[in-house]
Structure 1
Amino acid sequence: MTQGHAEIWLIILVLGLGTFLIRFSFLGLVGRRPLPAWALRYLRYTPVAVLPGLIAPQVIWPPATGGAPDPARMAAALVTLGVGWVTKNVIFAIGSGAATLYAGLWLLG
């Protein structure tokens, strides 16, 4: 990096101020007012939209294998999805996926 210490601290402060303003715009300005029904309806889908985007790269290109697909992780993801879909129980789905992952890693080495 060719930036000096002052430039790096300026970048950190500007980015920190930017993230504060983004959060304040939602929490500080709208926080005490009730949201419209349409906004609440769309906000219910936020976890469903965000979680697959966070999890899928870790399953398909796991850093633990250097980015190569791993059958144990694929099997664990499929078992977790299947158990979650059938039982509608998050804890049971996570537990069965974890057990499948550890069993797959143990069996496949």
Structure 2
Amino acid sequence: MTYSDTTIWWIIAILGVGTFLIRFSFIGLIGSRPMPPWVLRHLRYTSVAILPGLVAPLVAFPAATGGTPDPARLLAAAVTVGIGYWTKGVVRAMLGGAITLFAVQYMLG
């Protein structure tokens, strides 16, 4: 299927307006009002719910290995989860996982 340049630009513009309206509905219309405590409690878990969905494909099917699971990345992910669970610190967990990934890749060649 091929689209003309005009059609592609219309699709981009419509998606841009849609994205703006979705964000404006929360920020512009509700942003100045206090939110109920139950909403704030649920919003705390947004990043915890989204990050694994973004990272899991990069660990399970990394582009660097042609989509084949890699022991270095699997070990780094396990270390990241372990450090995060043990210390409850996101930055420490990410640093531990990154150091593990680079160290294992260095050792494996």
TM-score by length of 2: 0.92
Question: What RMSD, in angstroms, separates the aligned Cα atoms of the two structures?
Answer: 1.2
Q: 2-side partners of 1:90 and 1:23: how far apart?
A: 26
Aligned equivalent of 1:57: 57
Aligned equivalent of 2:20: 20
Aligned equivalent of 2:34: 34
Segments of 5+ residues of structure 2 without an aligned counterpart are none
Q: 1-side partners of 2:103 and 2:12: how far apart?
A: 44
- Per-residue displacement from partner, 1:65-87 (whole Å, max 9, x unpaired)? 11100000000011111112112
**Cα shift at 1:90:** 2.5
**Alignment of 1:10 onto 2:10:** yes
Aligned equivalent of 2:108: 108
- % identity of equivalent residues: 61
**Cα shift at 1:28:** 0.8
**Alignment of 1:79 onto 2:79:** yes
Tell me: CA distance 1:93–1:2, structure 2 relative to 1, closer, same or farther (3 Å).
Answer: closer
Regions of 4+ moved over 4 Å: none
Segments of 5+ residues of structure 1 without an aligned counterpart are none
